[in-house]
Amino acid sequence: MARQDIQRTIQEYVPGKQVTLAHIVANPTPDIYEKLGIQTPKNALGILTITPSEASIIAGDIATKSSNVTLGFIDRFSGSVVIVGEVSEVESALRHVVDKLHALLGFDVPEITRT
């Protein structure tokens, strides 16, 4: 039996500069705050996922300087950022983060979603 040359394709994930998720959770239930360990719940959570993950530090800085929000969680290893505040302030902070990362650093950005 003749052996045919087999071509193989190797796919690997190479993250670029991108915000993969920008979402507002309006009026989350108290158990969400409890599970996240957030001590001072407000009316909204803003959730961001960013690559490279170190840019989560920049996002946290932009969010807290641009709006009256606090950081609920930031992880420079996974790129996750959770901000806490009133719905309008969280929305404003997410808009500032997405716009600044896009304009200043050339990130690909998604639409901000909301539940």
Q: 40 pLDDT band (50/70/90 cuts)?
A: confident
Q: Does the pLDDT at position 79 exceed 60?
A: yes
Instruction: Name the token pair of 27.
Output: 């009026």
Please provide residue 23's backbone torsions phi and psi, each rounded to the nearest 5 degrees: -135, 145
Q: 12 pLDDT band (50/70/90 cuts)?
A: low
Q: Does the pLDDT at position 11 exceed 70?
A: no
pLDDT tens per residue, range 98-109 = 999 999 999 999
Long-range contacts: 7-15, Cβ < 8 Å, 24+?
A: 15/51, 15/52
Domain boundaries, the chain: 18-112
- CATH homologous superfamily of domain 18-112? BMC (bacterial microcompartment) domain (3.30.70.1710)
pTM value surpassing 0.85: no
